[in-house]
Amino acid sequence: MREGARRRTARVYTNETCNQNCAFCDRRAPRERPGFVEAAAARVDAADASTIVLTGGEPTRRSDLPALVRRAAATGARVELETNGALIDGPRAEALAAAGLALARVHLPAWGAACDAITRDPGGFEATRRGIAALAAASIAIEVSTPVVAANAETLPQLPGHLAGSGLPIEALVIGVPTSVRGRAASTLLPLPAAARVLEEAVEAARRVGLVVRLDDHASIPPCLLRDPARHAHLFSLTPGGRDRPGHARVAACADCAVADRCPGVPEVALDAVADAARPIARDRVRRRLSLISTVDEQIERELVQDEVQRRAGEPPRLARTVRVNFHCNQACEFCFVSTHLPAAPDAAVERAISDAASKGADVVLSGGEPTLHPRIAALVRLAKAGGAALVELQTNAIRLGDPARVAALRDAGLDVVHASLHASTAEVSDAITRAP
């Protein structure tokens, strides 16, 4: 990365036309503006960011997209692509991978025929599935992005289940909540309180199948609209001093809200719909769970590893290293201290922490979040054992250990101990505590 480059994300628009025609889209144009496509390379050069996101329109309409990816990667930035994936085949995916593309965020507003109805692109859903498969075969990480809009309000809560059952290697579902359509029909959007209900249902569905969910960085929905902000605190990363955001304003509830110093409030275009629905957040614990005290990368680095000395009767002291292989969880215990809003650390950092501890003969404790949600948890156990770990322990709520195949894989990898959390002696009380019926 160039010296002095800021730790930030820059979105670079490659073009403005698209092969799909979603009614709610505020970016698609009927034709390219003169000079706009040609100026994309200059926009990349001027981005000066740690992450460059190439977006559109539909960037894959450009025949020179691999060259643009290569140009962005040459700055030292991580390069991501926002695409509907329908125009990507095997050779195209390989070319993008060779150029340095790290991640593709694939737009998928619904599953199956419902998707084609929304995108107004007959056959587009199957083309997108083929595109995702091609990207995966090229070893490009994949996220799925979807908006909460009127067209998918009923079907969106079903999307996590479809994704989990598809066999596609989806790392996360990124949900956006658009509030402005810039000239499109306002009826294509949902009022923010209604969007909050759909968001909650989708997040609960994802929790049940172990799919990571994030809010899009531009999602303008305040946490006070959720019925249980603490349960969904992992969606938010509010920073002290972050209250000033263009296009946002305050409603009456903001005056008594504990996060008023870090929440930008409500999009001005949604004030009328939100005014009576907003409720101030009063509990300081909820404020802490909604907050990010430094940059995401710094907080992940600080919380990834915890070293301690274990002392057992009759044995010499032993080094034990807890490695948080992820931060999200399929339970939502209110007392949990883990920063469940954080994304997982890069695989390389997790593996490095495990290998370093194992090489010292330390005990390795794989924790989270809920570590069994990590798609390669058995491989991480195997890495620790092969590296010389004295003992490998798994800290888990054990929900996903009801699968005999998963348990067998962990056993065969060399897992020594399972530390299972069980917070009550009856199902009713346990479910109330974990908020995971």
**What are 288-327's pLDDT values in tens digits?**
888 877 677 788 888 999 998 877 677 778 889 999 999 9
User: How far is CA 293 from each of CA 6, 12, 49, 78, 297, rounded to the nearest angstrom?
Assistant: 18, 28, 21, 23, 11
- Tens digits of per-residue pLDDT, 244-274? 888 899 898 999 999 998 899 888 888 888 8
Query: Is the domain covering 6-221 a CATH 3.20.20.70 domain?
Result: yes
Structure confidence by residue, pLDDT tens digits, 18-33: 999 999 988 889 999 9
The confidence score (pLDDT) of residue 328 equals 87
Q: Using CB atoms within 10 Å of the CB of residue 284, give its burial: 0 to 12 exposed, 13 to 18 middle, 19+ buried.
A: exposed
pLDDT given for residue 338 in this prediction: 85
The model's pLDDT over 51-108, given as tens digits with 9 standing for 90+, comes to 999 999 999 999 999 999 999 999 999 999 999 999 999 999 999 999 999 999 999 9
Higher pLDDT, 138 or 302: 138
Question: Average pLDDT, stretch 23-47?
Answer: 93
Count of CA atoms in the C-beta half-sphere (13 A) of 151: 23
DSSP 3-state of 233: helix
Among candidates 224, 406, 220, 436, which has minimal Cα distance to 340? 436
CATH says 296-434 is which class?
Answer: alpha beta
pLDDT score for 436: 84
Which residue intervals of the chain bear CATH 3.20.20.70?
Answer: 6-221, 296-434
0.85 exceeded by the pTM? no
How many other C-beta atoms can be found within 10 angstroms of the C-beta atom of residue 380? 22
* Whole-number average pLDDT of the chain: 91
